[in-house]
Amino acid sequence: MTAPRVGVLALQGDFREHLAVLRGLGAEARPVRRAEELQDIDGLVIPGGESTVMDKLSRAFGVAEPVKAAIAEGMPVYGTCAGLIMLADTVRDRIEGQQSFGGLDVVVRRNAFGTQLDSFETDLDIPELGEDPVHAVFIRAPIVEEIGAKARALAELEDGRVVAVEQGNLLGTSFHPEVTGDDRFHRYFLSKLG
């Protein structure tokens, strides 16, 4: 079997961590900064970082429209934190003019935990990933406030707030599996690449 070719949007944020996890799993992982680099990949990861900056850079570099087209054509895409915001159809508490790629039929709220609880860690039960809980790191994270008919929740906090979603080939997490050493989310994503 040939190694899956996975792009990681490398305009801003923690793309190096994603590249390392994907390479550790045997994928041929490469940074994506230009439209041409989207052409010969089997899937795309959108890292954590700052969605407002990622939005501006993706439009300035001319990759926003090609990424949208790839999503529409069914390319598997996994977004973590800011990446989830970029995948969401609707973004609350966005800055003026901020756009997302969209595709994921959800409403997310940016920086949903406020300044009191900027960053925190917790364990999540995610049956799809096995019995062991997933240790999740949240850093100025978004929450999925509404889920449309096409998407489904994969993980919730104890209070029921949704922090991981899936919709066909699209996967999004509020938290950062790329920094914990637990590669089950990346494995789950790679299983979508066929």
Half-sphere exposure (Cβ direction) of 147: Cα atoms closer than 13 Å: 18
Near ligand GLN by CB under 6 A: residue from 49, 66, 76, 172: 49
- Taking the complex as a whole, the smallest distance from the CB of residue 40 to ligand GLN amounts, in Å, to 27
Instruction: Specify whether 176 is catalytic.
Output: yes
| Cβ contact 32:44 at 8 Å | yes
22, 75, 81, 155: which one binds ligand GLN (CB under 6 A): 81
Residue of the chain from 12, 51, 100, 167 that contacts ligand GLN (CB under 6 A): 51
Q: Considering only the stretches 15-23, 33-41, 46-54, 152-160, report the one whose residues sit in contact with ligand GLN under the rule CB under 6 A.
A: 46-54
Q: How far apart are CA 112 and CA 110, in angstroms?
A: 5
**String of b and e for 114-130 (b: at least 16 CB within 10 Å)?**
eeeeeeeeeebebeebe
- Residue span binding ligand GLN (CB under 6 A) among the ranges 21-29, 49-57, 125-133, 158-166: 49-57
57 neighbors 12 (Cβ within 8 angstroms)? yes
For β-strands 43-46 and 5-9, DSSP reports them as parallel
Q: Quote the least distance from Cβ 36 to ligand GLN, whole Å.
A: 26
Is 81 in the active site?
yes
Q: Would residue 131 show up in a list of annotated catalytic residues for this protein? A: no
Considering all CA atoms of the chain, what is the largest pairwise distance in Å, rounded to the nearest integer? 48
Q: Which of 110, 134, 136, 154 binds ligand GLN (CB under 6 A)?
A: 110
Catalytic positions: 81, 176, 178
